[in-house]
Amino acid sequence: MSRIGKKPVELPSGVSAAVSGQTIEVKGPKGVRSFTASDDVTLAVEEGKVVVSPRGKSKRARQQWGMSRTMVANCVTGVSEGFKKELEIQGVGYRAQMQGNVLKLNLGLSHDVDYAAPSDVTVTAPKQTEIVVEGIDAQRVGQVAANIREWRKPEPYKGKGIRYKGEYIFRKEGKKK
């Protein structure tokens, strides 16, 4: 039995869900998201809750049960609250700024890095050393944040680079004489 799958997904006020076949469409104040479940699970909307249940006792049905419930919960969270990843930049001379839809990064390379933000994700730089990525799709927000972080990952000796807010970087000791 899936502990996650057993719990129904609550629909907060202002969020509505409609099921047609294996596809659920969730509408909320931030936008519209849809998810198509596999044929191993059944989706139903009952009294302001979305219920996901397996079809049969096969291993695949049980695997899809919890995953489908989590995907529906992510759709509901995305259209009601949205997802957010915060990045910090550390290093002398490292900075970020937005120019229109392009994030300009100075990361100690021989050139500036220009990252064009996708249309479905909002990228902002409130300070020169902070980047905030927001959107309604958890996967897209995480992928954009990972792509930005990829330009200069934090190094273990001084900790310079782009890191997630609150991320711990294991520090190494330098050479000794």
Residue 158 to residues 55, 62, 75, 145, Cα–Cα distance (Å): 53, 46, 39, 22
> How far, in whole angstroms, is CA 110 from its chain's centroid?
31
pLDDT in tens, 108-156: 999 999 999 999 999 999 999 999 999 999 999 999 999 999 999 999 9
Which pLDDT score, from 0 to 100, does residue 3 have? Answer: 84
| Side-chain half-sphere exposure of 171, counting CA atoms within 13 A | 7
Architecture of the domain delimited by 83-164: Alpha-Beta Complex (3.90)
83-164 shares the fold of 3-80: yes
Residue 46 to residues 50, 54, 94, Cα–Cα distance (Å): 6, 16, 51
Residue 1 predicted with pLDDT over 80 = no
Starting from the edge strand earliest in sequence, which strands make up the sheet with 161-164, in order? Answer: 121-124, 130-135, 83-90, 161-164
Which pLDDT score, from 0 to 100, does residue 5 have? Answer: 86
pTM metric for this prediction: 0.87
- Tokens 């907060």 correspond to what residue? 12
63 phi and psi, to 5 degrees? -65, -45
- Tokens 């392009």 correspond to what residue? 102
Whether residue 134 contacts residue 120, with contact meaning beta carbons closer than 8 Å, is answered with no
**Every domain of the chain and the residues it spans:** 3-80, 83-164
pLDDT in tens, 46-94: 988 999 999 989 999 989 999 999 999 999 999 999 999 999 999 899 9
Homologous superfamily of 3-80? Ribosomal protein L6 (3.90.930.12)
Q: What is the distance between the alpha carbons of residues 16 and 31, in angstroms, rounded to a whole number?
A: 11
Mean pLDDT of the chain: 92
